[in-house]
Amino acid sequence: MPPVNLLAIPEPEIKVFRRRLLFWFAGNKRDIPWRRTRDAYRIWLSEIMLQQTRVAAVIPYYERFLEKFPTVQTLSRAKMETVLSRWAGLGYYSRARNLHRAAKVIVAKHDGRFPRDYEDTLALPGIGRYTAAAVLSIAYGQPFAALDGNVARVISRLGAVRGDLRAPALWRKLETTTEDLLDQRAPGDWNQAMMELGATICTPKSPRCEECPVAGWCRARKLGIAGELPATRKKRSTVDVTLAAAVLLDPRGRTLLIRQPGGDGALFSNLWQFPAVETTGGESAAGLADHLSEKLGITLNGNFTPLETARHSVTFRNIRLVPFLIRVARLPRLAGSRVVELSRIETLPISNATRKIANSTV
Ligand code: SF4
């Protein structure tokens, strides 16, 4: 076996190290729905939902999603809009779109079974090296090491590794180390044990070293620098955005929603939303009226009644939502729009921002 290069753990001790961590995991792992299954579809779904999202937030979405789409076949047959509405509220909607596309590929090319081959798995939309390794090891017991931010943090502390962990050269060393550490006999449990240690004990802030099963091998702890590692990355600076939105309301309590096309970089792409436009703070009503008239051909005589403003964040954007209630005798019919009762918009795929605006009307 090659040396575990970033950790400098003597070769004879590696087996003990693995045993300690696996023993700790067996006795301390959290009881989470996707840990009760070996179904690759369910494990894959959980891994996709867990990207950028905490375990506690994912659980209700995971269960609701599986009620509607219990198998990869049911997911592949569903309309994208239905998939998005089950995903609504979880954010990062490209994950749901890729999941849906990948389900179609699995049914068309792999006989409805999640692939066992690493390259076939990587070829699926929305699946990178980490997700492929996690699903194949947990569902099928294949010896692939999963390296994510949690695992990288644990290794950086065990080995007292300084520097930007996401720098390509250092990330490659972390990958090699993760592969060397992998327990070949229990790769799924091993990967989960490393992640669990990072999620519950070796946490980003204030690691609980006194409870750590592998503290005896930890160089950062010995040096007293566990809390300083890994080095914090420079964050992309946030941008403040003001979004003025029009809640048009007809006498029957119905409103107009439009769907914004665009790639994943677009705000709320492919979700139903109130007509809206980015404005400067003091001119929201005027900017919105111009937008409605020039871009959507909606000329309004009614008053713009300001509703309660709200805050919303999307990746690096801090959005101030400035909604207006505009009562109209009749809603316009536009291509790419739909008329729906305001009280029922939750049945459509909408973003949290749209939900916040709707809440400001009650
Ligand atoms: Fe992390 Fe502390 Fe364990 Fe080291 S001893 S791996 S810093 S929890």
Q: For 31-40, 233-242, 349-358, which range has the lowest pLDDT when averaged over its residues?
A: 233-242
Q: What is the 3-state secondary structure (H, E, C) of the chain?
A: CCCCCCCCCCHHHHHHHHHHHHHHHHHHCCCCHHHHCCCHHHHHHHHHHHCCCCHHHHHHHHHHHHHHCCCHHHHHHCCHHHHHHHHCCCCCCHHHHHHHHHHHHHHHHCCCCCCCCHHHHHCCCCCCHHHHHHHHHHHHCCCCCCCCHHHHHHHHHHCCCCCCCCCHHHHHHHHHHHHHHCCCCCHHHHHHHHHHHHHHCCCCCCCCHHHCCCHHHCHHHHHCCHHHCCCCCCCCCCEEEEEEEEEEECCCCEEEEEECCCCCCCCCCCCEECCEEEECHHHHHHHHHHHHHHCCCCCCCCCCEECCCEEEEECCEEEEEEEEEEECCCCCCCCCEEEEEHHHHHHCCECHHHHHHHHCCC
Could you tell me if 182 and 283 lie in one domain? no
What are the residues whose beta carbons fall under 8 Å from the beta carbon of 217, sequence distance 6 or more?
Answer: 7, 9, 13, 17, 158
Place of tokens 């695992």: 151
> What is d(CA 235, CA 229) in angstroms, rounded to the nearest whole number?
16
Give yes or no: residues 102 and 186 share one domain. Answer: yes
Residues 184 and 267 in one domain: no
What average pLDDT does the segment 50-78 reach?
96
pLDDT at 222 over 90: yes
Pocket test for ligand 1, best of 221, 222, 225, 229 (most atoms within 8 A of CB): 221
Q: Are residues 52 and 187 in the same domain?
A: yes
Per-residue pLDDT, 4 = 57
Residue 262 pLDDT: 52
Q: Is 212 domain-assigned?
A: no
* Residue-wise pLDDT tens digits, 194-208: 999 999 999 999 999
The 10s digit of each residue's pLDDT in 134-184 is 999 999 999 999 999 999 999 999 999 999 999 999 999 999 999 999 999
Position 235 in a domain: no
Note whether 180 and 47 are same-domain residues. yes
User: Mean of the per-residue pLDDT values for the chain?
Assistant: 91
Examine residue 143 and state whether it is found in any structural domain, yes or no.
Answer: yes
CATH number at residue 79: 1.10.340.30
Q: Which of 62-66, 90-94, 298-302, 323-327 reaches the highest mean pLDDT?
A: 62-66
Quote the ligand 1 centre to 171 CA distance (angstroms). Answer: 20
**pLDDT 10s digits, 304-347:** 999 999 998 877 888 999 999 999 888 988 888 899 999 999 88
Least confident segment among 34-43, 145-154, 259-268, 271-280: 259-268
How far is Cα 273 from Cα 257, in angstroms, rounded to an integer?
Answer: 5
Ligand 1 atom showing the smallest separation from residue 218 Cα: 4
Flag whether 3 is in a domain. Answer: no
Residues 254 and 128 both lie in one domain:
no
Indicate if 20 and 134 belong to the same structural domain.
yes
CA atoms within 13 A on the CB side of 213: 20
Do 187 and 268 sit in the same domain of this protein? Answer: no
Candidate ranges 47-51, 52-56, 165-169, 262-266; pick with highest mean pLDDT: 47-51
Asked which of 161, 193, 225 is the last residue of a domain, the reply is 193
Q: Is residue 18 part of a domain?
A: yes
Question: Has 67 been annotated as catalytic?
Answer: no
Examine the pLDDT at 44 and tell me if it is beyond 50. yes
Task: Classify residue 310: in a domain, yes or no.
Answer: yes
Cα 239 from Cα 234, distance rounded (Å): 15
pLDDT at 265: 43
Please state the domain count of the chain.
Answer: 2
Tell me the residue range of the domain where 244 lies. 240-359
Q: Is the pLDDT of residue 68 over 80?
A: yes
pLDDT at 267: 63
CATH, residue 254: 3.90.79.10
Q: Note whether residue 345 is domain-resident.
A: yes
Indicate if 176 and 37 belong to the same structural domain: yes
Cβ 226 vs Cβ 204: under 8 Å: no
d(CA 26, CA 22): 6
Residues 80, 18 share a domain: yes
In the predicted structure, residue 244 carries a pLDDT above the cut 80: yes
Q: Which of 114-118, 258-262, 326-330 has the lowest mean pLDDT?
A: 258-262
Inside any domain, residue 156? no
pLDDT by residue (tens digit) across 81-99?
A: 899 999 988 888 889 999 9
Q: Which comes out higher in pLDDT, residue 185 or 281?
A: 185
Residue 215 near ligand 1, beta carbon < 6 Å: yes
Predicted TM-score of the model (pTM): 0.77
Q: Are residues 176 and 246 in the same domain?
A: no
Q: Which of 116-125, 143-152, 171-180, 270-279 has the lowest mean pLDDT?
A: 270-279
Residue of 127 and 234 predicted with greater confidence: 127
Whether the CB of 226 sits within 6 Å of ligand 1? yes
Closest-CA residue, ligand 1 atom 2, reads: 209
pLDDT of residue 263: 44
Of the residues 200, 202, 222, which should be mutated to test ligand 1's pocket, given the most ligand atoms within 8 Å of the CB? 202
pLDDT value of position 269: 66
Q: Which pLDDT score, from 0 to 100, does residue 350 have? A: 87
Q: What's the confidence (pLDDT) of residue 16?
A: 96
Q: Answer yes or no: do 83 and 189 share one domain.
A: yes
Cα(207) to ligand 1 centroid in Å equals: 6
